[in-house]
Chains A and B, each alone.
Chain A
Amino acid sequence: MSDLLTWTGAAGPVLNPLLLALVALLLLAWVLQFMLSLFASGDTAVVLADGTLAARRGPADLLGMAARWLLLGVLAVVLAYLVLGLVLPGKPAKGIIGAMSAQFWPVWLALIVTFAVSLRFKRKLGLYGKLFDSPVGMVGFGIVLFWIFTAIFADIIITHDPLAQLSGLKNKVPGTPVPGEDNSYYLLGGDSLARDVFSRMVMGARRVLAIAPAATAFAFMVGITLGLPAGYFGGRLDTFLSFIANLVLAFPVILLFYLLVTPEIRVTGIPIILAAALFIFPVIFFCVLWNSRYFTDPKKRNIYVGLTLVIGLWAYSGLAFNADPLGVWSMDPNLLNVFVSVVFVNAPTVFRIVRGIVLDLKARDYVAAGQTRGEGPWYIMLWEILPNARGPLIVDFCLRIGYTTILLGTLGFFGLGVSPESPDWGSTIDDGRRLLSVFPHPAIVPALALMSLVLGLNLLADGLREESLKD
């Protein structure tokens, strides 16, 4: 039986006071800066003789310099914790943070490789490359990537089976050693059923990232396929579709979830009907996309449309009806239920955005040029308008994944559509909140995880927006 792990292990006695001092100074600097900025005069930069621009060294600038260095210092110390965690031998020396850092090694490796490659070739990578010009976007992208890699390598990262209940570890605090096992700890403690909070958090990332982007993508398919004609043709079609969209949007989300995501509803087949309606959109979308582009060249058109139909309908039969003859595509009915509801909730908003952009872009001369050379309406929508709407749509896509993550958490929080065992972040928060004031750790860990992922996505969207506006 070994002792409880400390948070920072062997590095703690040195680094903790340092970190504390740096953070305190940093906060002080920020507060001062904030106060100064309220009274600041706008213009402090001067032009030097050689034509370069230099800032006059006022108190505000010195403070800014100090704050920047302090921030770097804080980051360095945090980095030191993580690096020391990787190199120091033995978990007691690593501490909880260090030990977690060590568990995350595949993630670090993948992050470093991705960033190195991207930074090296950023000028050749279009909008993605430009993202690395914006610090905000880079931070956001880093956080998102962290969670993506965590989801990918979850099996390597976890320390225990996320479903296993080990006796004696119920509600234990972070860093508790597992009795009977050497060098084995519940790094972030145990929950009310004595499961490892750390491993559940890591596995939860996999669940969220398996659903959220895919559901968002489907919502975009539906929203785009309906929003384009609504904005382009206008008239009755627009009135009708907008009415339907507003109908869905007028539903309080929670009520909709309570109505749509219940075990009983599966018996009625409503989720399957909805899935059948929603999942067909990508197939329609791509068929129309290829046809409108290649109808002048029937041979090419037939290949593209044919391939789309074969693959699309194959996946469609599996996902929507669970009737894939080859058994490759299938979806757990519980999951299908959640998935469909989330798509259903998101699609009207995407519809509205797309419709708005189309209304703006359809007055452009290149659209008129397409019309005057006799292009069909779908070619103009999909090949003339849609590519030019990509900026705002990509930004919204990122934001919407975050929103979907929040929705999934909400579902979990109300215990809808998830099995009680599931390490899903929302339901974990729900489990943990009952004993929140006594044992905060089982709820706070997934809460922070969810928050950081959504924050990352929002920052990423912000960075993308900033960079795409610069074009």
Chain B
Amino acid sequence: MLKFVLRRSLVMLLTALCLTFIVFFMTNLAPNLEKLAKSEASARMSDDEVASWLEKNGFGQPLLVRYGEWLGVLPGWTVTENGETRGRCIASPASAADAPAFCGVLQGDWGTSTVFKDSVGSILSRSLGATAWLMLWVMIVMVPTSLLLGVLSGMREGSKLDRVLSTVAIASTATPEYVSGVILVVIFASATAGLSPLLFEWGLISSKTLFLGTATSAMDGITFWNFALPVLTIALYGIGYIARMTRASMTEVMVQQYIRTARLKGVSFRQVVIRHALRNALIAPFTVIMLQFPWLLNGVVIVETLFNYKGFGWTLVQAAGNNDIELLLGCSVVAVFVVLVTQLMSDIGYVFLNPRIRLA
């Protein structure tokens, strides 16, 4: 078991290195750097000036060296100019002498955001905190709902309940977040359409809209009215997907011979489902839920943009849209890390849930 975790961790590390390098390469392409130079120094620089600016700011070295510096395994660059020493790890010329040689991600130095004029580390921790709340609520809504739906519809394949629930699940997987978000806002949070005008007219609500169309205020305090729509928007897509997986796995289990054995042992249908089918049926969805994280991350980005909630996704969009290289790199590392850790967890969890694998 330990060996397995170790192996997986090694593969994961290798994957993480490859991925961060790809992101580093893609964000440090020549056109991006040129844009960076122009936005940092002057928009009307000539090509030569851009080149010399880049050279002076440590961008002149080979890509791999710069990647090593960013990672913190190679010493940061230094340039001595007019008696002043500047460098990657040197905050101000005065402290040049006692600045550390290495300053990269491994040392906890994530660089500075050019857009927010703040250190990447603090921006990320702030935005991740905001997103964590969102994800927490999404999970609380999504997981039980989808498992319940899946089990209910899968336990009697072909019944009316199954057909209704399956259709609901299919419809919800067909609705990406940017569509369901729009529809939910129109129905619940539009002053001109949907339910809100009606409710307002009848005097049931005092504000113009039932729910808030943005979640910006949730940054300060989460309430049902500012948070329900974003959470629901992300959860809806996942619910459909996980419910379908659960249903498929449940229907597969329900026709197994051992379910028949249990039934013909005299076990009641309820007990057959709870004692015999459930554990076997939940093995597959567990993996699915874990592997949903990359997609949930997508949903987070869309929903935070749509509802203007300044979490991780919103930050990523800002960084990408404004050529904020260091911040984008930071976001990528976090995203990749989250995805890989969930993959590892899904593998390990699968082994624990499935006795057949554990000791095979």
Contacts and interface: CB of A to CB of B under 8 A. Distances in A.
Interface of A: 30, 33-34, 37-38, 42, 64, 243, 246-247, 249-255, 258-260, 264-265, 267-268, 270, 402, 406, 409-410, 413-414, 426, 429-430, 432-433, 436-441, 443-444, 447-448, 450-451, 454-455, 457-459, 462
Nearest to B213: A437
A410 B295 CA distance: 12
Given A253-B298, A264-B32, A436 B160 contact: no
A82 to B, nearest CB: 22
B75 interface: no
A430 to B, nearest CB: 8
Contacts of A430: 178
A255 B335 contact: yes
Majority DSSP secondary structure for residues of A touching B: helix
B301 A454 contact: no
A439 B194 CA distance: 12
A318 B241 CA distance: 39
B209 A437 contact: yes
Contacts of A433: 178, 181-182, 185, 306
Contact of A451 (B174, B331, B335, B339): B174
Q: How large is the interface on B (under 10, 10 to 19, 20 to 34, 35 or more residues)?
A: 35 or more
Given A254-B298, A413-B178, A455-B171, A438 B160 contact: no
Given A413-B178, A433-B306, A447-B182, A440 B192 contact: yes
Given A250-B19, A251-B19, A440-B192, A33 B178 contact: no
A458 B174 CA distance: 7
A255 B178 contact: no
B332 interface: yes
A412 to B, nearest CB: 9
Contacts of B26: 259-260, 265, 270
A444 B193 CA distance: 11
B176 A438 contact: no
A255 B331 contact: yes
A459 B306 contact: no
A258 B22 CA distance: 13
Contacts of B19: 247, 250-251
A268 B29 contact: yes
Contacts of B11: 243
B288 interface: no
B30 A268 contact: yes
B213 A255 contact: no
B175 to A, nearest CB: 5
A249 B293 CA distance: 11
A414 B185 CA distance: 19
B58 interface: no
B173 interface: yes
Given A247-B15, A249-B294, A406-B176, 14 more contacts: A37-B160, A243-B11, A250-B15, A250-B339, A253-B294, A253-B298, A255-B331, A265-B29, A268-B29, A429-B179, A437-B185, A438-B192, A443-B186, A447-B178
A150 to B, nearest CB: 18
Give the 9 A-B residue pairs with the shortest CB-CB distance, closest first.
A264-B31, A455-B174, A258-B320, A454-B174, A440-B186, A259-B26, A447-B179, A406-B176, A437-B213
